[in-house]
Structure 1
């Protein structure tokens, strides 16, 4: 016996068509959501890598500067600095500030 589609009622065909359209729409939404999650995950991963790298660079620069300052503060300069008159403050001697 051959299946004749003309014997199926219109309401049944509309119902089946609606179910198929809903399944296609749900598959599209799920695929779009999965792709957006993958893109957001890649963006988050990229942000973490870039921010961690920049933070490491800044910490490296700070550590290098700290070593340079402490090494420079350990150097003793021979001789004494003579007091020089300052033009606007009278005759106060200049003061050498050291890293304390």
Structure 2
């Protein structure tokens, strides 16, 4: 299952490299696109759960790395201005 690394820029200007165990995330986030903070978190949540579910279908267990990444995104998002925007810089 091909993994995807995606880089984001938070509203405070910090950049972060994120991980998805599957290309499923590409259905929810697009490189070069900017999202309102709440929408970004929801899209990341949906995409990372979908990616984890794909791992579970193939290997019989959820992907803890995808869920850890989601927890990190949700935690960082809670420290950002609510009206901020997140940019997806790249997906590889």
TM-score after normalising by structure 2:
0.28
Which has more radius of gyration?
1
Higher helix proportion: 1
Higher strand proportion: 2
